[in-house]
A = this chain, B = another copy of it.
Amino acid sequence: MGTTQLEPVPEPKYWHLRTVLSEALDSEFSVGEILPNERDLAARFGVARATLRQALEQLELEGRLQRRRGVGTTVAPPRVGVAVGTAQHTWPGAADDAWEPTDCELAAPPAAVAGALGTARDEPVHTVRRSRVTHGQPVAAELLYVPPSSVPDLTAIDTPSGTARARAVLRELQRGELERRDSAVELGSVGAEDAKELDRLPGAPVLVVTTRYLARGRTAALSVATYRADTCRLTFGDSGDVEIHHGPQSRAS
């Protein structure tokens, strides 16, 4: 990364800088390596620190960099492929489940969730909180809404709220013979609570996966899962992994 000057180009400085840095990452850095600090980098390229940061933000968004306050900026490993597949029997609570239930409570869900579940607006539902860990790193946080009618045989309140009750709800839900599910993915930003769990700052980009589980034609449960967008690649296929794409697309010349 010996380049010291940016030749004048019609494109924005931060975008050109992004490209230059991206190429430097490919050729001169390896995964985990620490970059020079922002003040030095900005000086080296002759731009203000804010401009340099704009370029770094792009690269972080693309999963190329990882920035940690008080530590520094490192070259990120390739994104982890996390299966959100449709065909496998990965119903909530299944044996090969990658999710770890952490909590459960009975509470009225947000209005939008109640609408999708078909429950009354203030009818309480089981709200199971789960977290997903891959390679020792938290990658997703989920809220799973289960109407009591979907788990009719759930033993009463003798099980305390908390992890134990979460497992009980999942166990009963799985007895209900779920038939199908459909999901949607969209971009979001992480809220304060999830941010802590995912070890990110508030506002960090996340992929929000909303999944509706169907049983006997009814919506048996609804899940809203937020995945770290910087480290995750969501795979939907029946089979293996696709690992393509690196940075912004460019037209084949």
Contacts and interface: CB of A to CB of B under 8 A. Distances in A.
Interface of A: 11-12, 14-15, 18, 58, 61-63, 79, 81, 86-87, 105, 107-110, 112-113, 116, 127, 129, 141, 143, 180-194, 202-203, 205, 207-208, 210-212, 222, 224, 226, 229-230, 232-253
Closest 7 CB pairs of A and B: A182-B237, A191-B248, A187-B229, A186-B233, A193-B251, A185-B234, A183-B236
B187 A185 contact: no
A14 B202 CA distance: 10
Dominant secondary structure at the A interface: mixed
Nearest to A187: B229
Residue of A12, A61, A81, A249 with highest tally of chain B CB at under 10 A? A249
Contacts of A12: 202
B222 A244 contact: yes
A113 to B, nearest CB: 6
Given A86-B236, A187-B61, A187-B63, A203 B18 contact: yes
25 contacts: A18-B203, A61-B187, A61-B188, A62-B188, A63-B187, A86-B236, A105-B252, A109-B252, A113-B244, A182-B236, A182-B237, A184-B237, A184-B243, A185-B185, A185-B236, A186-B207, A187-B230, A188-B245, A188-B247, A191-B250, A193-B250, A210-B242, A210-B244, A210-B245, A211-B242
B248 A182 contact: no
Contacts of A61: 187-189, 205
Contacts of A235: 182-184
A58 B206 CA distance: 12
A38 to B, nearest CB: 17
A244 B224 contact: yes
A242 B180 CA distance: 13
Given A87-B86, A187-B187, A191-B250, A203 B233 contact: no
Contact of A81 (B81, B184, B243): B184
Contact of A240 (B182, B192, B222): B182
A249 B182 contact: no
Given A187-B205, A187-B207, A187-B230, 7 more contacts: A107-B252, A107-B253, A112-B244, A143-B249, A191-B249, A207-B207, A224-B249
